Chain A
Amino acid sequence: MTPKEPALSVSGLRRAFPMGRGLPELVAVDDVSFELAPGGSLGVVGESGSGKSTVARMLVGLERADAGEIRVAGRARGVRERGRAARLRRAREVQLVFQNPLESLDRRLTAAQCLCHVLRLHGADRAGADRRALELLEQVGLGAREAEARPHRLSGGQRQRLAIARALAADPSVLVLDEAVSALDVSVQAQILRLLSRIREESGVSLVFVSHDLAVVGQVTDEVLVMYRGRAVEHGPTRRVLREPEHPYTRMLASSVPGPGWDPAEVVRLRAEFAAASEV
């Protein structure tokens, strides 16, 4: 692996869902390409239904891509790879933190067990897994009390921390987070975002941060990809996109972010402008 090789490189990704007889298929993701440097952080923003989750699911292999290629550290992720070794290698390439933390955790397992199962699967012995599980829990700010708790006894923020720890347990080179903080209240959001930045510094993992909220994405990413109806309409450094959005859709999203000098009337005007532009 050459040092300049991107951690993740996606080109021409496309996914269409058949909508039933006589109806045109729904193109959820259309020709999406991007690259992510090792240790880098990319935001994927767009409104509901723009295809963000579909991109995230294709990255981890839960959804098949109709076209396009996903490369992790230069190695193409095959469509169908069989065998234990291939499965585990894929898991160590990309991990996903799901949109809904409670539903994505096994209700039968305590936090510590949840992590131990992943660690054991990926080759740790019993003692090693126990030790590493506690380290991971500590890394995401969960203590001994939470370690023995099952998901329904944890708070929303704690569940999300556990979900992040579980994704890290496989030691992936890329971590994809799908609306990781959307269900949390603002102060907990800020904690989780700080946690993610710290994890990125400590472990060098690359982040793909999926969110409908440009403000949140602005806090944790270097680059941002704006999706609208399955297409990438804008792609660039997060600061630039936030300050000088080029595409009318991004301008509208950016104007919706409350901050100094935020003017609701401006949001309304840009929305109207964007609506008029997309009519054409």
Chain B
Amino acid sequence: MTAQTPTSAVTANTTRAGARGSGGVVLWTSAGFLVTVVLAAVFAPLVAPADPNAIDFGDIWAPPGADHWLGTDQMGRDLLSRVVHGARESLLGPLLLLLLASVLGVAMGTLAAWRRGWVDVLLARVTDVMYAFPGLLFVVLVIAVFGSGMTTAVVALGLAFTPIIAKFTRSVALAECAKPYIDAYRVQGVSGLVICLRYLIPNMAPALLGYLVVLFGEGLMSLATLSFLGFGAQPPSSEWGLMVQEGQSALIQGVLWPALVPGAAIALVVVAFNIVGVRVADRLNSRR
């Protein structure tokens, strides 16, 4: 779980992508890969060669081959079909948790920057506490209270990501509010709420979207981690983190595939997302 240090991750990614120069094979390969993964997730039943839950105890831990392109797991289920179907949960989860976190975080950050004074101080304290609290501990506590499951994991992680987004939004909003065009709206008689919703947040959108794109990778990994620990997706789901966890028994037996396939899926998607995301963020921000 790396939810506590996204800022350093963002800067590291930015410099790395900056050094790579514009365009390039890596960028287009990453983008192509992501499009393929998303399409595969959307059309999973058509793409997957087999039923992801079809058990065949006569054919467990089969190596990659003509019958099973990526091999089978400890129950003889087709690994390719399982990652393809699992992509749905594995991608939708981080999307939903970021949606929750950004609605809350952007609202809190904007409110703090707009109202300043005691509202800002109060929100700063709340975010500081949430920030300092180890994200994993917080999430595990929430899950301990509400029980394991994908929904709880998404909500808990969404709450854990909220202060990160709030803090970022606040700093962007403070800079934006200092610009005279915001004063101009006040002078025109526009209400504070309308200024924030209609003008301030849309003007911050490029900066916020760029940041969210990079957080997506964090979200995906955090959610996979929770599933790996048994707090998130539950069997017979083929969420990638859960698949890695189920692949452990095979690893002990020296069979690599069942853990390697979903593990590689997570790593490749996160890396590709960061490469494309940082570039998209740069584009959005330079257009301002």
Contacts and interface: CB of A to CB of B under 8 A. Distances in A.
A122 B185 CA distance: 12
A33 to B, nearest CB: 23
Contact of B189 (A91, A96, A104): A91
Interface stretch (B28-36, B84-92, B175-183): B175-183
Contacts of A103: 179-181
Contacts of A121: 188-190
B202 A91 contact: no
Tell me what chain B mostly uses at the interface: helix, strand, loop, or mixed.
helix
Contacts of B191: 84, 87
Contact of A96 (B187, B202, B203): B187
Contact of B183 (A90, A94, A98): A98
11 contacts: A62-B187, A88-B189, A91-B187, A95-B187, A95-B188, A96-B184, A104-B183, A106-B181, A108-B199, A108-B202, A121-B188
Contacts of B202: 108
Interface string A75-106: 00000000010011011101110111001111
A62 B186 contact: yes
B26 to A, nearest CB: 31
B115 interface: no
Contacts of B184: 96, 98, 104-106, 166
Interface of B: 179-181, 183-191, 199, 202-203, 288
Given A91-B187, A122-B189, A107 B199 contact: no
Contact of A106 (B186, B187, B189, B203): B203
B188 A107 contact: no
B227 to A, nearest CB: 40
A104 B186 CA distance: 11
Given A84-B191, A87-B189, A106-B185, 15 more contacts: A61-B186, A91-B188, A92-B189, A94-B187, A96-B184, A103-B179, A103-B180, A103-B181, A104-B181, A104-B183, A107-B181, A107-B288, A121-B189, A122-B189, A170-B189
